[in-house]
Amino acid sequence: MHSVKNNAEDNHDLHFAYADRQMDMTVPKYEIPDSGVDARVAYRIIHDEMQLDGNPALNLASFVTTWMEPEANLLLQETANKNIVDQDEYPQTEVIHQRVISMMGRMFNAPVDKDPVGTCTIGSSEAIMLGLLAHKWTWKERREKEGKSTATPNVIFSADVHTCWEKFARYFDVEMRVVPLKEDQFYMTADQVEEYIDENTIAVGCVVGTTFTGQLDDVKGVNELLLKIKADKGWDIPIHVDGASGGFVAPFVYPEVEWDFRLEQVRSINTSNHKFGLVYPGVGTVVFRDRSDLPEHLVFNITYLGGSMPNYSLNFSRASSMVLLQYYNFLRLGKEGYRKIMQNIMDNAQYLEGKLIESGHFELLNESKYLPTVTVRLKDRSLPNKIVYLLSDLLRQYGWIVPAYPLPPKADTVHVLRMVVKENFSRDMAEKFAEDLETCWKQLGEEEKEFKNMEANQGGKGLIC
Ligand SMILES: *Cc1c(COP(=O)(O)O)cnc(C)c1O
């Protein structure tokens, strides 16, 4: 007599998903196993283990795209085997890369007499480092020409930035001058910047759509300040705009707001195409206003695999898929499609905001005017901050992933819950989310009551004594 398992082993035409899989053994974790397993078994082991992760569709924590069309998935599969840096072997991929850069330069309103250049990166972090490095070198060359010291470059940005700005400062040895937030203002204005500027300032960073509250730094005001300084002192200090999250929202939702290459001192912009460019992770872009904003000797002309190619990047090899998927979205959606999608997500974010206000428990930090993020704090200031963290935990029971955190320095007494509304977050999901949040709130109340009762029964000595 054979067991079922042996049957399957003997007869290769007969496979059972979980009989083949040797369910009674643990999988190798720390050392490469001596021998392999059937492809289907390997697939199933990993596929199943991934079910332990959160559900991307319910992940309101992240800005990063969690859904694309089936045709995009097909393209992704077809192009995962092409290394984007092999320009000699895959010249047409490079042609499309350049089209994507050109489209983005125009989307950011580069003046017609300018020649915007740039590169797709793995994300905004790499893009920001490349932008700031270019400005560091432009500053250095100018100082050397003037016969002045290049020992102490500095970069100015607000405490509302993403960690990658601090990474740049530390990794590339540039002093960071961080403009603190205020307890009631969570973005940076021009008057706050002025005192930090001197002749060693390589750039001022402005965020369009902060990670913390979704607001905009006052790019226009900073531009005016820098124009004035240029006229008075001759220091030509560039602005690098971090449009990681807002770069694809602004052009379609509030095109009249000037934050991009329409402003003279804005010399480089980064965005995360894998956020509201609506492409899977990892692709970002840095675009320079004009070729002259990127020092030539930072661009390597590499002789590689039989051809010569220009390269400005920190990373090298990766699949070409994500750049091609950005092009797919440009063709597929057009400006009209992007406008409609962005409008929908803004509407749904505002709808969710309304629901949370209605509940009576929360207060908005700001209206979601610039990014489809909903950031709330507790309305009743006498309640402990811990509640937002408990709610975040309880929401997990329903599958929702919602972060709770304190704001950056000087505003760090404010603790918030933040929801990012993405393309696949429907009106119905907004309703369900609001319902679940209310259930969690009630559950907290019940638990507190129970806890108090228990305390009282034990003579007020607490639970464990
Ligand atoms: C997400 C984000 C970043 C980092 O972008 P990655 O693409 O994840 O590297 C930087 N700045 C802001 C404002 C962001 O929202």
**Phi and psi at residue 338, to the nearest 5°:** -60, -45
158 and 300 within one domain: yes
326 and 359 within one domain: no
The tally of CA atoms less than 13 A away on the side-chain side of residue 110 is 23
**For position 8, what pLDDT does the model report?**
45
Q: How far is the CA of 124 from the centre of ligand 1 (A)?
A: 5
Contact yes or no for 294/160 (Cβ under 8 A): no
302 and 388 within one domain: no
Any domain includes 207: yes
Ligand 1 neighbour 125 (Cβ under 6 A) = yes
**For position 465, what pLDDT does the model report?**
40
Domain that holds residue 44: 14-53
162 and 25 within one domain: no
385 and 445 within one domain: yes
446 and 305 within one domain: no
Q: Which of 330, 356, 371 is the last residue of a domain?
A: 330
256 and 133 within one domain: yes
Alpha carbon nearest to ligand 1 atom 12, residue: 244
Ligand 1 neighbour 206 (Cβ under 6 A) = no
Q: How far is the CA of 61 from the centre of ligand 1 (A)?
A: 13
Ligand 1 pocket mutation pick from 120, 125, 212, 241 by most atoms within 8 angstroms of CB:
125
**For position 307, what pLDDT does the model report?**
67
**Phi and psi at residue 155, to the nearest 5°:** -130, 140
CA distance 239 to 135: 9
The atom number, within ligand 1, closest to the CA of 272 reads 7
348 and 321 within one domain: no
**For position 6, what pLDDT does the model report?**
47
Q: Which of 300, 330, 360 is the last residue of a domain?
A: 330
Structure tokens at 59: 């992940």
CA distance 291 to 160: 29
Contact yes or no for 103/333 (Cβ under 8 A): no
Ligand 1 neighbour 124 (Cβ under 6 A) = yes
Task: Check which CATH number belongs to the domain holding 163 and give it.
Answer: 3.40.640.10
* Residues in the chain, total: 465
Any domain includes 283: yes
The sheet with strand 239-242 has its strands ordered as: 117-121, 284-288, 266-272, 239-242, 201-207, 154-158, 175-179
**H/E run at residue 271:** strand 266-272
Ligand 1 neighbour 273 (Cβ under 6 A) = no
Number of neighbours of residue 359 by Cβ within 10 angstroms: 14
Coil/strand/helix, residue 310: strand
The atom number, within ligand 1, closest to the CA of 63 reads 1
409 and 302 within one domain: no
Any domain includes 61: no
**For position 184, what pLDDT does the model report?**
83
Per-residue pLDDT of the chain (465 residues; tens, 9 = 90+): 444 444 445 555 566 777 766 667 888 899 999 999 888 888 988 999 999 999 999 999 999 999 999 999 999 999 999 999 988 889 999 999 999 999 999 999 999 999 999 999 999 999 999 999 999 999 999 999 999 999 999 999 999 899 999 999 999 999 999 999 888 888 999 999 999 999 999 999 999 999 888 899 999 999 999 999 999 999 999 999 999 999 999 999 999 999 999 999 999 999 999 999 999 999 999 999 999 999 988 887 776 666 667 788 899 999 999 999 999 999 999 999 999 999 999 999 999 999 999 999 999 987 778 999 999 999 999 999 999 999 999 999 999 999 999 998 888 899 999 999 999 999 999 999 999 999 999 999 888 788 778 777 775 554 444
294 and 149 within one domain: yes
- Domains in the chain: how many in total? 3
Any domain includes 5: no
Q: How far is the CA of 64 from the centre of ligand 1 (A)?
A: 9
82 and 19 within one domain: no
277 and 154 within one domain: yes
Ligand 1 pocket mutation pick from 245, 248, 370 by most atoms within 8 angstroms of CB:
245
Q: How far is the CA of 329 from the centre of ligand 1 (A)?
A: 20
Q: Which of 306, 330, 354 is the last residue of a domain?
A: 330
The whole-model pTM stands at 0.91
DSSP letters, 352-408, are HHHHHHHTTSEEESS-SSSSSEEEEEES-TTS-THHHHHHHHHHGGGT-B--EEEPS
List Cα–Cα distances, 368 to 14, 342, 423, in angstroms.
56, 12, 15
Q: How far is the CA of 26 from the centre of ligand 1 (A)?
A: 38
CA distance 45 to 369: 44
DSSP letters, 138-166, are HHHHHHHHTT---S--EEEEETTS-HHHH
**For position 363, what pLDDT does the model report?**
95
CA distance 269 to 127: 8
Token pair 């070729």 is found at 291
Ligand 1 neighbour 164 (Cβ under 6 A) = yes
Any domain includes 378: yes
Any domain includes 7: no
Any domain includes 313: yes
